[in-house]
Amino acid sequence: MHVVKVIFICLEVLLLFNLLIFVHELGHFLAARWRGLKVERFAIWFGKPIWKTKIGGVEYCLGSIPAGGYVSLPQMAPMEMIEGKSEGEEKKEQLPPISALDKIIVAFAGPLFSFLLALVFAIVVYAVGRPESESEKTTVIGYVEKGGPADLAGLKPGDRILEIEDKPVTKYGGMGESIQWRVLSSEGAQIPIKYVRSNEVSGAVTTNVVQVTPVKEATKAWKRKSLRQIKIDAAQTAIIGDVKAGSPGEFAGLKAHDEVHAINGRRLLHYAGVSDYISEHKGEPVTLQGLRDGKPFEVTVTPIVPLNSTNGDPKIGIAWMLGGRMGLAHPGPIEQMRGSVNAMVSTFAALFSSKSDIKPQHLGGAVKILSVYYILFESDQGWRLALWFSVLMNVNLAILNMLPFPVLDGGHILLALLESIRRKPVNAKVLNYIQTGCAVALIAFMLYIAFFDVQELSFFRKEKTEHVEFPKQPPK
C-alpha cells in the first residue's frame, strides 16, 4: 500500500510540474502560430527525447532531463545547444525574416501565460483555502533556546516582535514581512529587534529594542552554507501527535490530539516548554492541563529516564504536532500574486547584496521543486498546499524568464530591442556563440544547484531518529 501511495504522489508531482512547463511553452507556441513563425519542435524537458511524434510539421517530444522545456523557433535566436536539431528542419537562411515586434511578442507570451496560470491557481486557492498553521501567522515568541542569541539578548517567550532591522514583521514564517526572512536576510553583525513585552502580574506593556548577534551552524564544505539564526520559535498550542506505547504518557492516559495548555500551572506557549520543565524538575511528577475533544482535562504523569538514555534526562514518551492548530486561510488572488512577486524581489535583493549571507547556492532548482511538491502532496492537505505553492512557482517562472539573459525569454526580448535600434539583426555567427556560451553557463548553474538539491533529498540524508525504550510500567 505504501508503494502505491508513493507512485501515486510521484505521478501527481510530475503532472503538476509538467503543467507549469507546458503552459509556459504553450504561450510561446500559440504566439508563434499567431505571428506566422515556423515552429519546428514543441518539447517538454531537455535532453534526448524519450517520446516524440510529428503532427502538422511540428515535432512534439518529451525529453529525458526534467528541467524545463522549449519551443524550437528557427527564426528567433539560435538555441541549438539546448534544442538540438529536428529531423528534416529547414535551414534558417531559407525562412523569411520576422520583425523585432514579432520576436518580442513570442518571447513575452511564455512569461505572460505563466503569470496567467498563477492567477488561475490563486483564484482556486482563494476558493478552496490554504492550510495555515498557528505558528506561521503569529509574531509572538513561543520558545527561546537557552544560551542562544535571543536568550543572551534578553528575549523571552511571550514577547511580540514588531520590527527587525527597522522593518515591520507581520508573521513568523515564509517570505516577505516574516521574522524568519528578516533574520535570514539581515546584514549587520547585530540585528536590532523591536518587541513588546506584557507583564502578566501588573498588566504593564513596554516596548523595547535589543541587539541580537545571530549564529550560523557549521556545515561541510560540499553542503549549502547555513544561514543566520537567533534560536527562537513561534508561539503555538502544544498538541500531542503520538504517545509511545509503554511510556509514562500512555500509562497516565495521555492521547493523541490532546492540547496541553499548562504544566504544573505554568502557561505553555510552545511544546518545548514541557521537556524544559521536566528537565528542570527531574523525577518530579508533573500535571498537564488542557483540552481533550474541547473539554478540560488534567493528567498527572511521572517522567522516567529511558533505558537507552544517553544524557539521563527523564521523558514521558510523547511526540508533538509541529505548528500548533491548523486552519484554512482564504487569501485573495491579488494578495497571493503580490506576495509571490515581493518574495522574488526580496530574494534578488538579498542575492545581489554584498553584505547578505544568501548566495546563489541557496537557490533551488528542478530537483528542489519536485521534492517540495512531493513533501506537500504527502501531507493531509497536500493538494491545497500544492496549489498554493504553484502560484509562487508560476510567478517565479515568469519573472526569472524575463531576466535579460541570452537563452531566457528576456534575452530574446533584449536582442529584439537591439535589432530594432540597429535596424538589422545581430550577426548570426556572433549570436550563435553568445547563445551557446550562455546555454553552457545556464546548464552548468543548473547542475551546480542540483548538486546541493540532491544532498537535501530525504533518500540521501542520514537522519537520526530517537528510539526511546522505557522500563515496564506497573499495571493500571
Rounded distance between C-alpha atoms, residue 426 and residue 100, angstroms: 11
Q: Decide: helix, strand or coil at residue 238.
A: strand
Q: What angle do CA 208, 212, 216 make, to 5 degrees?
A: 155
C-alpha cell of 261?
495548555
Terminal CA-CA length for the chain: 36
CA distances from 187 to 2, 175, 213, 350, 418 (A): 45, 16, 11, 9, 38
Rounded distance between C-alpha atoms, residue 388 and residue 124, angstroms: 9
- Per the listing, cell 498546499 goes with 385
Rounded distance between C-alpha atoms, residue 61 and residue 300, angstroms: 65
Q: Decide: helix, strand or coil at residue 2.
A: helix
From 12, 25, 163, 298, the catalytic residue: 25
- Catalytic status, residue 419: no
194-203 long-range contacts (CB < 8 A, ≥24 apart) are 194/161, 194/162, 194/163, 194/164, 194/166, 195/141, 195/155, 195/159, 195/160, 195/161, 195/162, 196/159, 196/160, 196/162, 197/156, 197/158, 197/159, 197/160, 198/158, 200/158
318 touches 244 (CB < 8 A): yes
- Report residue 123 CA to chain centroid gap: 20
Looking at the chain, how many residues does it have?
Answer: 476
Q: Which residues are within 8 A (CB) of 456 and not within 5 positions of it... i.e. 6 or more apart?
A: 224, 368, 371
Residue of 253, 260, 255 whose CA lies nearest to 278 = 260
Write out the catalytic residue numbers.
Answer: 25
